[in-house]
């Protein structure tokens, strides 16, 4: 059995799967404030998916594309339709956790869009991420958001680049002075710990009960 000292910060596909299912389960039971994660069992690249509502009370209407078509003949006048004047623009964010075979670590993919489906661009997304992932902070060493093709959905998503993951995972487990954990324990808590670090970048928090629950 490999010694935790020689551990390189990565996790195998099998351990990822086990960890992911357990993570999803715990999340659902202890963190009902948020939508649950669901496991998408696609044969080559199974992943965890979560549609997440990111309520951003952003009442500035966004410019979008201006339509300048000719006015239509009036429909029947309809008193029964409510006309709403102010419209809060909300932004939604979907998160997927996908296993990377190259880096042997989980990778967080995200995609943000407006309520009418228009996708948000990276600079718009970055504006809404918590201040700690602004460019000046040291945490940004690990927080590099790039646009890449989702490995399965084959469309451009944004992801937190995984090349620093194994390093900070090692630091997380071995850098503290809480003694040397056993490797099995490390692997069991892997996804939870990974998420607690990575989630901060995108404003997702793990409630304490999940962290304390060591079943």
Catalytic residues: 163
CB of 194 to another protein, least distance (A): 19
Distance, CA of 120 to CA of 135 (rounded, Å): 19
Among 12, 59, 134, 147, which residue sits at the site for another protein (rule: CB under 8 A)?
Answer: 147
Q: Which of these segments, 4-12, 18-26, 80-88, 98-106, binds another protein (CB under 8 A)?
A: 80-88
DSSP SS3 for 49: strand
- Give the C-alpha separation, 8 to 167, whole Å: 8
Minimal distance, residue 181 CB to another protein, in Å? 28
Residues within window 155-184 making contact with another protein, judged by CB under 8 A: 155-156, 161, 163-164
Which of 1, 2, 116, 214 lies at the binding interface for another protein (CB under 8 A)? Answer: 116
Return all residues near 210 (Cβ < 8 A) that are at least 6 apart.
26, 27, 30, 31, 192
Which region, judged by CB under 8 A, interacts with another protein, from 123-131, 151-159, 180-188, 190-198?
151-159
Confirm or reject binding of residue 2 to another protein (CB under 8 A): no
Residue 163 φ then ψ, to 5° = -70, -20
Contact between 71 and another protein per CB under 8 A: yes
Q: In the set 25, 29, 59, 115, which binds another protein (CB under 8 A)? A: 115
First-to-last C-alpha distance (Å) of the chain:
22
Question: Residue 28 contacts by C-beta under 8 Å, 6 or more apart in sequence?
Answer: 36, 37
Closest C-alpha among 195, 213, 197, 208 to residue 37: 195
| Rounded alpha-carbon distances, angstroms, from residue 53 to 85, 93, 108 | 23, 6, 16
What x/- string results for residues 31 through 70 when contact with another protein is judged by CB under 8 A? -xx------xxxx---------x-x-----x--xxxxxxx
Chain residues binding another protein by CB under 8 A are: 32-33, 40-43, 53, 55, 61, 64-73, 75-76, 78-85, 87, 90, 113, 115-119, 121, 144, 146-148, 152-153, 155-156, 161, 163-164
């Amino acid at each position: 059995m490999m010694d935790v000292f020689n551990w390189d910060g990565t996790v195998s596909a099998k351990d990822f799967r086990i960890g992911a299912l357990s993570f999803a389960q715990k999340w659902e039971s202890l963190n009902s404030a948020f939508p649950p994660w669901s496991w998408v069992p696609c044969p080559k690249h199974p992943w965890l998916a979560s549609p997440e509502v990111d309520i951003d009370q952003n009442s500035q209407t966004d410019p979008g594309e201006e339509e300048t078509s000719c006015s239509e003949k009036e429909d029947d006048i309809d008193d029964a339709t409510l006309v709403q004047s102010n419209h809060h623009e909300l932004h939604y964010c979907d998160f997927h956790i996908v296993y990377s075979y190259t880096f042997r670590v989980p990778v967080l993919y995200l995609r943000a869009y407006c309520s009418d489906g228009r996708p948000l661009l990276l600079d718009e997304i970055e504006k809404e991420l918590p201040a700690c992932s602004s460019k000046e902070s040291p945490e940004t060493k690990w927080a590099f958001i790039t646009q890449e093709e989702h490995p399965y959905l084959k469309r451009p998503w944004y992801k937190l680049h995984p090349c620093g993951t194994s390093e900070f995972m090692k630091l997380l487990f071995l850098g503290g002075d809480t003694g040397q954990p056993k490797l099995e324990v490390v692997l069991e808590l892997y996804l939870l710990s990974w998420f607690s670090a990575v989630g901060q970048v995108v404003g997702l928090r793990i409630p304490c009960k999940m962290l304390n629950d060591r079943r």
